[in-house]
Chains A and B, each alone.
Chain A
C-alpha cells in the first residue's frame, strides 16, 4: 500500500512505549498494529498448522537535488508482509503489501494452496518444518519433496527462533529523523547548494530518512518488534566542464549526526582540488585510503556468505582452510593492530538487534588483534555443533579499530603515494581471496615528498582487503561512513603496495 504526503504529523512509537501504545495509524505500524495484523492473518488460516508473519513496516522521505536545484521529493509508506503457512511438515510463503482483510485473506489462501502443491516430503524437509510446526507425528511420505528456497528459509529460521531469546535494546529511533518532513528537507537543501553555486560548481545530493518497525511473529510463540530510524546524505560536486569531481556522504540513525553542510563543503573542496587531473602510470603505490575508501574495499570481509562459518567449512571463501571443513579461526589473518567487532549497543554503530527473520544479534568480536576469533552461524548450528543455545549471526555491520594518525600526518610521512577518496563499482572476482576490482572516484591525488603534488586520473584497481589489511603502515581515528546497507565504522589507512592496474578516463 502506498501513499504520498507532504505534511507529516504522526505519533512516534518507541521501543519501551510501543508495546503498551494503543492501536494507531502512523507512518509505519506500531507493535500493537503489527500484533493485530498477525492475529488477523492467524485467524484467517484454515487447515491447521502454523502461521508466521514478517514485516518491515516503513516510511521513507527523500529529497534529491541536481545542478544546484531540487529535482524530486517524495514520501513513501509500505507494509511488505511475508506470510508463511506451515501445514503437516511443509511450508510456503507469500508476499503482499495490502493489509486489509480481502488481500490478506487472499495471501493466506494462496500460501495454503502452495503448501498443498508439495504432496511428498523428505525426512530432511520434514525435520526442518517440524520445528516450525511441532506436530506429533506428521503422516507424510518421505521421498520426492521439493521445497522452494523461500519456504525452506522460513521453516529453518522459525526453527532458529522457536524459543524466545533475549535481545539488546539499542536507542536507534530518533525524533530528529522522524520529524524531517518534506518541508524541512526542502529547506535544508539551499544552504547545501549555495557554496557550490557561488563557486561556479554543480552540486547534486540526496537526503533520505526513514522510520520503520521490524516485526517477526509466529503462532509458535515468537513475537519480535523494534522501531528505528535511518538518515543518509550524500553529495557530489562537479566542475561544469567535467574537469573535477568531489564526493562526501554518511548515514546515521539520528539526522542530527549528519553534518550535511560539512559534507557539502568537503565535496566542494575535493571537486576544486581534483580539477584537471593528469595521468600517471598504474602500478603499486603507497595508498592513503580515506575511511570511505576503506569501507568500499573492505565491506566484503564481513558480508554473507563469506563471514558464515558453514561457508568456510565447505571449503569456500577467505576464511576456509582446505576443503575438509577447516577454518582460520584462531589464526592471525590481519595486521595485529586490526580488531573488528559488532555490537548493536555501540552508539556509533547501533542497529536493530534482530534481522528480518528473527535472528538475534549478539555483540561479537570477529577479529581481535589480527586473529580471527569468530565466524557467523545460526542458532541451529550452535546447538548442533557448539553446544550453545544461541546463534551468532552477522548483518555485515562492523567497527574496525584504528589509531591516532591523521590523514595530514600520513601524507606528510609519504615520499610517493596516492590519496584515495573512495572506490566505486567494486566487485569481488575471487571469493577465496576476496580479490576485488573497481575504480577510484571523486578525488585522487598524487603525493610526493610529503605533500599532495597534483590531481591524477582515476585508476582501475585489482586488490584484496585480505592483503591490504596485512600491509597497513598507519591507522587513523575510526569514523562512521556511508554504507546504508549496514552501519560501518572504519579508520583511514595508509597501506603499501596497493595495486592499481589501469587508467580510467571517467572523471
Chain B
C-alpha cells in the first residue's frame, strides 16, 4: 500500500514486505508472519504446499523497542457493485448508521465495544442522532453478519494502531475499507447500567 503507515521497503528483519491475501471470499488464507515465526508454523505451510518464508511484517515502534510481529497495512476489497454509503443506507428500512468513531476489543480481541456519531435510519434515510450511542460486537461474528458492502467509490483509508508487548509499544498501520451493512449489531446506550 503506497504511503501507508506501515509501508516499508524492508521490515525490521530485513525482509521486503509482500502482499498476502489473509481472507479470500470469507475463508482464512494466511497469517501475518515474520522470520522468527516461520519455524513455529512451518508445518502449516508445508501442509498447504506453500513456501516457508516471512511476509515481512516484523517491526517496532522505534529503535528503542523490541522487534516483533506488527500489523501490516490492511485492505478490505470493495464489492463488485460500485455503491456508496448513501446507497447502502437507502436499502435499509430501519436501522442505525455508525458514521464515524472508534472501537476497541478486549484483551483477546474477541468482545468489542465502540461509539461515535450514530444516526437512525428510517425508510432508507438518515434520521436523528443517537445521544450516547454505542455498539457491542463479537470480532469473529461481525464478519459473518455482513450482508452488503460498498463498492470501489466508497473506499476510504483510516489510521489504526496496535498497543502490545512488554516493554509496551505502539505501532501504526493503515486500513483501506468500504462501508458495510451488518445484521444483528448490538446497539447500546453508552451510559446504560445493569
Residue pair B191, A435 in contact (C-beta under 8 Å): yes
B110 / chain A contacts, CB cutoff of 8 Å? 504-506
The reply to whether the CB of B190 lies closer than 8 angstroms to some CB of chain A is: yes
Which parts of A71-93 form the interface with B (CB within 8 Å)? Answer: 72, 74, 76, 78
Residue pair B107, A501 in contact (C-beta under 8 Å): no
Residue pair B104, A425 in contact (C-beta under 8 Å): yes
Residue of A nearest to B190 (CB): A429
The reply to whether the CB of A502 lies closer than 8 angstroms to some CB of chain B is: yes
The reply to whether the CB of A282 lies closer than 8 angstroms to some CB of chain B is: yes
- CA distance in complex: A427, B105 (Å): 11
Given A62-B167, A284-B194, A499-B194, verify A506-B66 contact (CB < 8 Å).
Answer: no
The reply to whether the CB of B10 lies closer than 8 angstroms to some CB of chain A is: no
Residue pair B106, A429 in contact (C-beta under 8 Å): no
The reply to whether the CB of B136 lies closer than 8 angstroms to some CB of chain A is: yes
The reply to whether the CB of B132 lies closer than 8 angstroms to some CB of chain A is: yes
A2 / chain B contacts, CB cutoff of 8 Å? 63-64
Q: What's the tally of chain A residues with a CB closer than 8 Å to chain B? A: 35
- CA distance in complex: A72, B68 (Å): 11
Q: Is the interface of B mostly helix, strand, loop or mixed?
A: loop
The reply to whether the CB of A368 lies closer than 8 angstroms to some CB of chain B is: no
Given A502-B136, A505-B110, A506-B106, verify A74-B194 contact (CB < 8 Å).
Answer: no
A460 / chain B contacts, CB cutoff of 8 Å? 106, 111, 113, 136
The reply to whether the CB of B193 lies closer than 8 angstroms to some CB of chain A is: yes
Residue of B nearest to A76 (CB): B64
Residue of A nearest to B194 (CB): A499
Residue of A nearest to B67 (CB): A72
Given A429-B190, A462-B192, A501-B192, verify A441-B107 contact (CB < 8 Å).
Answer: yes
The reply to whether the CB of B100 lies closer than 8 angstroms to some CB of chain A is: no
The reply to whether the CB of A424 lies closer than 8 angstroms to some CB of chain B is: yes
- CA distance in complex: A198, B115 (Å): 45
Given A60-B167, A74-B66, A437-B113, verify A430-B190 contact (CB < 8 Å).
Answer: yes
- CA distance in complex: A484, B136 (Å): 30
The reply to whether the CB of B128 lies closer than 8 angstroms to some CB of chain A is: no
- CA distance in complex: A433, B191 (Å): 10
Residue pair B107, A424 in contact (C-beta under 8 Å): yes
Residue pair A64, B111 in contact (C-beta under 8 Å): no
Contact with B along A455-474 (1 / 0, CB 8 A): 00000101100000000000
- CA distance in complex: A462, B104 (Å): 15
Which parts of B100-119 form the interface with A (CB within 8 Å)? Answer: 104-108, 110-111, 113, 115
Q: Which of A62, A425, A430, A500 contacts B194 (CB 8 A)?
A: A500
A361 / chain B contacts, CB cutoff of 8 Å? none
Contact with B along A428-450 (1 / 0, CB 8 A): 01100101010101000000000
Given A74-B66, A437-B113, verify A282-B167 contact (CB < 8 Å).
Answer: no
Q: Which of B108, B167, B193 contacts A208 (CB 8 A)?
A: B167
Residue pair A425, B190 in contact (C-beta under 8 Å): no
Contact with A along B170-194 (1 / 0, CB 8 A): 0000000000000000000011111
Given A60-B167, A429-B134, A439-B111, verify A424-B106 contact (CB < 8 Å).
Answer: yes
Residue pair B111, A506 in contact (C-beta under 8 Å): yes
The reply to whether the CB of A377 lies closer than 8 angstroms to some CB of chain B is: no
B13 to chain A, nearest CB (A): 15
- CA distance in complex: A425, B110 (Å): 12
B167 / chain A contacts, CB cutoff of 8 Å? 60, 62, 74, 206, 208
The reply to whether the CB of A119 lies closer than 8 angstroms to some CB of chain B is: no
B107 / chain A contacts, CB cutoff of 8 Å? 424-425, 439, 441, 506
A282 / chain B contacts, CB cutoff of 8 Å? 194
Residue pair A499, B64 in contact (C-beta under 8 Å): no
Residue pair A78, B194 in contact (C-beta under 8 Å): no
- CA distance in complex: A261, B129 (Å): 53
A463 / chain B contacts, CB cutoff of 8 Å? 193
Residues of A within 8 A of B (CB): 2, 60, 62, 64, 72, 74, 76, 78, 206, 208, 234, 282-284, 424-425, 427, 429-430, 433, 435, 437, 439, 441, 460, 462-463, 499-502, 504-507
Additional pairs, 16, CB under 8 Å, beyond known A208-B167, A429-B132, A430-B132: A2-B64, A74-B66, A206-B167, A234-B166, A283-B194, A429-B115, A430-B190, A439-B106, A439-B107, A462-B191, A463-B193, A501-B192, A504-B110, A504-B111, A505-B110, A506-B107
30 A-B contacts (beta carbon < 8 Å):
A2-B63, A60-B167, A72-B66, A74-B167, A76-B64, A78-B64, A206-B167, A234-B166, A282-B194, A283-B194, A284-B193, A424-B107, A425-B105, A425-B106, A425-B107, A427-B104, A429-B132, A429-B134, A433-B191, A435-B191, A437-B113, A460-B106, A499-B194, A500-B194, A502-B111, A504-B106, A504-B111, A506-B106, A506-B107, A506-B110
